Structure 1
């Protein structure tokens, strides 16, 4: 069964909290990008896993979070540069738009405040606080949340993630990105499909395949002037690979809403989603969320375990009847 997943790192200003200065174009247009991406999913009826930074679900706060074990100064920008920028700190209106969409999106977590879980400063206490606070907010909204997307794909503290109650996460990609993805899939025919697996903590790892905005700047401008958008071509190849797959491998595309800063960014995503929709209608391609993949992989693993148990029981019975030790 061919399968494609699209996951979204929904974060507004929180994705740049530790960057000084943050990229001006992306941070000032992050709400614009959210609306554009939301409308593109609506237009092509493509469900996605929206991994939301928990802080966006707050209506207001004092910017101190005294009960949170974050490193000193982590929330300082809330009280200084962003003190008069609620549009970067809060987004309950945006979250509600996703939840009320006619498209069956999955609500997932992107942590509470976008800490980096592989960083030395993120100890177990901080990791647990980020997981638990995000889940508390989801519960207050009456939402279930089982999938997690690590900020910047910096995977860490998976044991604590499982203990918090999550069942799936987006793992690091093992496939080429950016220029290499365009080159190796186009000239070398390299596959960017990934295989979901169950890790040692019982979590389903749904690895990333392709970042939709990995070919930018001058290189993109030049390529588009003489050819077309290289990332659209590469994404289409990846989707075609998923259509042809005869195993559990899938195409997992991902991006941030703040990647959509211009009309041509919107056009890129609409072209990719239009192709997903077309292949879904003309082939056996399935569009899944991370949660649906996790449920499918978990169920498949359960069926294997049950089969092994039955086989073992039959073998034991046979040995007992025949007198074998």
Structure 2
């Protein structure tokens, strides 16, 4: 039985706060895109893994974070340029929309403040603090955290994830993004299906198949004018292959990728095709936690984790 996974990196301003010149269109589109995705997923009854930056679940803070072992200046944007832009720093209303949805979404972690786990400056102390703080806030919301999505897919400190009780994470995609990915999939006929696997820490690695907004700018405009949206075509191809071969196809995006109505149209087309294939075949939709359950099961995970930690 084939399956499709959709994961979202839900971050608002935190996805860009470390950049000298954040992309204003995406910064401003975070809330819009979040709401659109909640509505579309409800319309097509598609559960997804929502990986939320923990800070968004706070109602307020002074931006000091004196007890957090982040590098000097890490929270500078929050304290200065975005001090009066609470809509970029907090999103409890948006998180509630996901948790209260009629669709059974998975709540997952995207760290507390979008720290890049694979960077040399992210030491073990910082990785632990990011995960502990995220789990504390989740517990305040009566939520547990089974899955983790690395900010910017920068993988590191997997041992810390295991120690913190994380069961699954999104791994790096074996296929390339953008024009190169279109070439690999359509011209070279490269499969976009992925194979989940248990790593040496007992975690289930669910690799990404494709980033749904990896083909943008002028190239996208030209392609759409003479052909069709290449990302929709690739997504249909991956969904069909999963249904045909009993494989797994894993799509991902940020809510802030939906900056215009044509982005909404892209997602509607993909979800509509997924609905048709799910209705006509035994194709299912899974979350990262569902995949972990299927691969090792709750008891299997505990056994794996015990071996890893000892």
TM-score between the two structures when normalised by the length of structure 2: 0.95
| 1:2 corresponds to | 2
| 1:254 corresponds to | 252
Matched ranges for 1:18-37 at <5 A = 18-37=18-37
| 2:126 corresponds to | 126
Counterpart Cα distance in 2 of 1:147 and 1:170: 8
Unaligned ranges ≥5, structure 2: 304-310
Preserved contact between residue 181 and residue 234 of structure 1 (Cα < 8 Å): no
Matched ranges for 1:8-157 at <5 A = 8-157=8-157
Counterpart Cα distance in 2 of 1:203 and 1:89: 30
SS in 1 for 2:50: strand
The alignment's C-alpha RMSD in Å is 1.4
| 2:270 corresponds to | 272
Deviation at 1:187, TM superposition (A): 2.0
Q: Aligned pair 1:281/2:279, yes or no?
A: yes
Q: CA 1:223–1:208 in structure 2 vs 1: closer, same or farther (change >3 Å)?
A: same
Structure showing greater Rg: 1
Deviation at 1:188, TM superposition (A): 2.1
Q: Residue by residue, what CA displacement relative to the aligned partner does 1:171-210 show, whole Å, maximum 9, x if unpaired?
A: 1111122112212211222101110000000000011110
| 2:203 corresponds to | 203
Counterpart Cα distance in 2 of 1:140 and 1:302: 28
SS in 1 for 2:296: helix
Q: Aligned pair 1:229/2:203, yes or no?
A: no
Q: Residue by residue, what CA displacement relative to the aligned partner does 1:67-109 show, whole Å, maximum 9, x if unpaired?
A: 0000001001111000000000000000000000001100000
Q: CA 1:260–1:209 in structure 2 vs 1: closer, same or farther (change >3 Å)?
A: same
Unaligned ranges ≥5, structure 1: 306-325
SS in 1 for 2:252: strand
Deviation at 1:299, TM superposition (A): 3.1
| 2:306 corresponds to | none
Preserved contact between residue 82 and residue 88 of structure 1 (Cα < 8 Å): yes
TM-score between the two structures when normalised by the length of structure 1: 0.91
Counterpart Cα distance in 2 of 1:150 and 1:223: 31
Q: CA 1:172–1:230 in structure 2 vs 1: closer, same or farther (change >3 Å)?
A: same
Q: CA 1:12–1:300 in structure 2 vs 1: closer, same or farther (change >3 Å)?
A: closer
Preserved contact between residue 42 and residue 103 of structure 1 (Cα < 8 Å): yes
Q: CA 1:192–1:301 in structure 2 vs 1: closer, same or farther (change >3 Å)?
A: farther
Counterpart Cα distance in 2 of 1:301 and 1:161: 18
Counterpart Cα distance in 2 of 1:176 and 1:275: 23
Counterpart Cα distance in 1 of 2:257 and 2:25: 9
Deviation at 1:300, TM superposition (A): 10
Counterpart Cα distance in 2 of 1:176 and 1:14: 25
SS in 2 for 1:206: strand
Counterpart Cα distance in 2 of 1:127 and 1:300: 25
SS in 2 for 1:45: coil
SS in 1 for 2:108: strand
Preserved contact between residue 176 and residue 192 of structure 1 (Cα < 8 Å): no
Counterpart Cα distance in 1 of 2:299 and 2:106: 22
